[in-house]
Structure 1
Amino acid sequence: METIKLPDNPVFDEVAAAAAELGVDAYVIGGFVRDLVLKRPSKDIDVVCIGDGIALAEKVSQQLPHRPRVSVFKNFGTAMLRYNDWEVEFVGARKESYREHSRKPEVEQGTLDDDLKRRDFTINALGISLNKANYGALIDEFDGLKDMRRKIIRTPLEPGITFSDDPLRMMRAIRFATQLGFDIDPDTFDAIVDNKERIKIVSQERITDELNKIILAPVPSYGFKLLFVSGLLHLIFPKMVELHGVETKNGNSHKDNFYHTLQVLDNVAQVSDDLWLRWSAILHDIAKPDTKRYSPKVGWTFHGHEDRGARMVPKIFKDLKLPLNEHMKFVQKLVRLHLRPIALVKETVTDSAIRRLLFETGDDIDALMALCRADITSKNDAKVKRYIQNFDKVEKRLVEVEESDKLRNFQPVITGEIIMETFDLKPSKTVGELKEVLTEAILEGKVKNEFEEAYSYLLQIGEQKGLPVVNKKTL
């Protein structure tokens, strides 16, 4: 029997001792074992005992230094405690049965064999004994170790039943394949295709949680391709599927915006782990199907897709149950502005254009530039190299103008309150117009964003509009 060396952690010895004292068998099981074999870091330990998992947790807590608090979840028959950086969850071995219209099983006490059978994939159906007779022995009834060596995701039982019982497992299969760089066993993948419609009984929050984990994988495009080919993507994110395909008229074709988007996503993933920057990559061209037009003179165009896309972001976030907060606004901003740096690359870069980009982007300028670099996808290596070199020039000018004008998160030194006091105005359209003219002058470089120069310019504007100065300000 193969044995596995457990990490040097007193929790394992204490669980073994507590289980022996209570007269129950205990095993470390599931994801912790998988990650131990794959040499992946993991701080979540799942302990299964043949008996009362809550009683075992409380016994372990009594034996550990400082007696960590045990959180009990009676409805699920589980308990959890934290020890140093480790989170240990305890449960009694269970067997499960499912009803057709719910992924929540009916649970009853079971054997270790029952508990392993209810696991989603063979690589998660591994256990390590904590019992004196065979401490450290690997429990592997479904050849999970062999599947790890073959880099295969496979269900321990008949995959059609596994996915029909709990359709979220289809998303999890694709998520694990993407995170680990594994293939999905052909029969298992066929069962995903056959059962894809069952995903409709799963809550959007659960689906999006798995989707975000796919997006955060090292090469997220792999997961999206599996979602697409299986048909799941058509059900969970149809707007993205609309990007797929190439249309040709009079010999003119546009690129496949679905695969372009996946390339941009992978490019971003190489430089950033930020989930919301990756979502910006996914959504940057989302409005291209709605804005696609063909003209014999210019070919295919997608005019205004950046503004249309930005307006679509809130509904997409709402539909996917993503947060409607600053993360959504960040994605919306990057979708709206993603063509701006590219436009600067194509023309002579003026300080005015740089100032406006800094003004509108604020602290998100670095994220925007990362997205724009990622958006340079072409089979023409010379073209890509030329664009990258031009981006280098734009970024250099951004740094120079920012150091000179301090326009990141820029606010004019002349506030609306100062304008109202100077001309004795109430909040009105006139105040907004004066502020806008002053802001434009600063962005155009006509006036420095310093009080004396900006205030003097304000007085000139007021005089042109026939506004008498009532309370003249001085520093």
Structure 2
Amino acid sequence: MMKLAIMNTFDFKKHLSEQPIFGYVQQAADALGVEAYVVGGYVRDCLLGRSTQDVDFVCVGSGIELAEKTAALISPNLKVNVYKNFGTAMFHFDGWQVEFVGARKESYRSDSRKPIVEDGTLEDDQKRRDFTINALAVRVNKDHWGELIDPFDGLKDLKSRIIRTPLDPDITFSDDPLRMLRAIRFASQLRFDINAGTFEAIIRNKERIKILSQERITEELNKIILSPEPSYGFKLLFAAGLLEYVLPELVALHGVEVIDGKGHKDNFYHTLKVLDNVAKVSDDLWLRWAALLHDIGKAPTKAFDPQVGWTFHGHEVVGAKMTRQIFRRLCLPNKEPLKKVETLVRLHLRPIALVKETVTDSAIRRLLFDAGEYLEDLMILCRADITSKDKSKVARFLSSFDKVEQKIMEVEERDRIRNFQPIVSGECIMYTFDLPPGRLIGEFKEAIKEAVLDGKIKNDFDQAFDLLLTLAKEKGLTPKKSKEEVKAWWQEQQALKQQEAAKRN
């Protein structure tokens, strides 16, 4: 993986002069007679060569007053969002998100990560920063334009690729345990190491994570999952003992059990390998979540058979159910993202099972129907799931998988099964027989769907309606309308649906 290069020389004076926002802040700060600084992530990212238009300013005074003065210099119509309870203000300007706060010092109670805040100096403000690489500040006043203030050797740590706290890490993490997750998240995003003393303090303070809200934990977890090589972050979470609190179901996959000389692979490290494989080809957060959870059902389904060794029968079904529980606990979105991840976990074995010469078109049609809009993501996940230290074995399996994908494309091109709905709908069945909604309607629809998936009929009105009449006759039902009447009504309904869809678009 390519690592970010640290800028050996960076001319902040020149850089600040090239962006109008810094000039406006300089004018406002000097007019108010306050010290003003660019701080934190923006300074860090400049030194890392990372592009960003999200900038934070700290002043020794009122951040709100500085924001309002800066905005007035830019335009009398520029809206400033003020948050008096936090002493902060922000506005958007020319693609920039600009935030202001007064320098402050903080103290904490043991039962909360919310600080008691007081006005402070720049030194106080830098001391409260989580890591040395985020405690860098650059002066924007005219007399000290572009001057870098680095009291904790943050620049040295950037060059050494180290995450380290400015002050005693035990106090830092005990005061605000979210910083433990942020340390691992920054390490994962930047591919930095965590200083030994800092990491040991995370281990000592891991139980403090219990006071955090689930939303804040999940926010950091998502950022780790989206990092270039997410396995690194999860290995750090595991080594620190934090993963037990964040995602214990993943910890349960760790380890290899051996009975009668037969062992299984370590499903924890296999899962992380699959996650990395997906990360190489997709930035989709929910596809990455599916990779992380695809084998989550293996721990509760693990069993030993003396004849065949270790089995995990039905782990994909159990895993899909666990996915719903995990999403609820982690406060993850419970609609489309959950549906996607749940579907991918449940189906992740299906395409691999098609790597046989005898695979039928019916099996492929059923996969197309069940996967629907998630088919491409499912195929990415399945390719990522092919892991082995034997590279020739992986190559052979991937070659076979290429043939499966080709077969899937051929069947889809011919039959258009993906996302299909039986052309004879429940409303059509009720109209034909003057029936109310009920179980029988569902049985007829299911029988027609199965016939289409089995290739017995096409998803064509005439063929589907003829099958419906046969099924109804077996139940002793007589249609109340002729085929011609029903077809005319059906065509009218289709036209109305098309008109409604056109209006929505």
Structure 1 length-normalised TM: 0.98
Q: Deviations over 1:332-369 (max 9, x none)?
A: 11111111101111452211111101111111100111
What is the correspondence of 1:328-347 to structure 2 with a 5 Å cutoff?
328-346=338-356
1:53 aligns with 2:96: no
1:155 aligns with 2:165: yes
1:77–1:92: 8 Å Cα contact kept in structure 2?
yes
What is the correspondence of 1:37-436 to structure 2 with a 5 Å cutoff?
37-65=47-75, 67-346=77-356, 348-436=358-446
3-state secondary structure, aligned to 2:55: strand
Structure 2 length-normalised TM: 0.92
Q: Measure the CA separation in 1 of the matches of 2:443 and 2:31.
A: 79
Read off the aligned partner of 2:259 and give its amino acid letter.
K
Q: Measure the CA separation in 2 of the matches of 1:472 and 1:345.
A: 46
Read off the aligned partner of 2:402 and give its amino acid letter.
D
1:412–1:439: 8 Å Cα contact kept in structure 2?
yes
1:349–1:394: 8 Å Cα contact kept in structure 2?
no
Q: Measure the CA separation in 1 of the matches of 2:371 and 2:10.
A: 57
Deviation at 1:253, TM superposition (A): 0.2
Query: For residues 257 and 347 of structure 1, do their structure 2 counterparts lie closer, same or farther at Cα, with a shift above 3 Å needed?
Result: farther
Read off the aligned partner of 1:380 and give its amino acid letter.
D
Deviation at 1:3, TM superposition (A): 5.1
Q: Measure the CA separation in 2 of the matches of 1:348 and 1:161.
A: 63
1:171–1:210: 8 Å Cα contact kept in structure 2?
yes
Read off the aligned partner of 2:428 and give its amino acid letter.
I
Q: Deviations over 1:72-119 (max 9, x none)?
A: 000110110110110110111111111111111111111111111110
Deviation at 1:287, TM superposition (A): 1.0
Give the corresponding residue for 1:471: 481
What is the correspondence of 1:5-16 to structure 2 with a 5 Å cutoff?
5-7=14-16, 8-16=18-26
Determine which of 11, 27, 39 is the counterpart of 2:37.
Answer: 27
Moved more, 155-164 or 416-425: 416-425
2:10–2:47: 8 Å Cα contact kept in structure 1?
no
Read off the aligned partner of 1:441 and give its amino acid letter.
A
3-state secondary structure, aligned to 2:56: strand
Deviation at 1:67, TM superposition (A): 3.6
Q: Measure the CA separation in 2 of the matches of 1:188 and 1:353.
A: 54
Q: Measure the CA separation in 1 of the matches of 2:424 and 2:63.
A: 66
3-state secondary structure, aligned to 1:75: coil
Deviation at 1:396, TM superposition (A): 1.2
Structure 1 vs Structure 2 CA RMSD:
1.4
Deviation at 1:237, TM superposition (A): 1.4
3-state secondary structure, aligned to 1:27: strand
Deviation at 1:66, TM superposition (A): 5.7
Q: Measure the CA separation in 2 of the matches of 1:213 and 1:344.
A: 34
Q: Deviations over 1:107-149 (max 9, x none)?
A: 1111111111110000000011101112011111111111001
Q: Measure the CA separation in 1 of the matches of 2:287 and 2:346.
A: 13
3-state secondary structure, aligned to 1:303: coil
Q: Measure the CA separation in 2 of the matches of 1:177 and 1:202.
A: 20
Q: Deviations over 1:132-177 (max 9, x none)?
A: 1120111111111110011000111111111111110000000000
Q: Measure the CA separation in 2 of the matches of 1:72 and 1:106.
A: 20
3-state secondary structure, aligned to 2:359: coil
Q: Measure the CA separation in 2 of the matches of 1:227 and 1:346.
A: 39
Q: Which runs of 5+ in 2 are unaligned?
A: 1-8, 488-505
Name the % identity.
Answer: 62
Read off the aligned partner of 1:24 and give its amino acid letter.
V
3-state secondary structure, aligned to 1:114: helix
Q: Measure the CA separation in 2 of the matches of 1:406 and 1:446.
A: 15
Deviation at 1:394, TM superposition (A): 1.4
Q: Measure the CA separation in 1 of the matches of 2:77 and 2:434.
A: 68
Q: Measure the CA separation in 2 of the matches of 1:462 and 1:168.
A: 63
Moved more, 401-410 or 22-31: 401-410
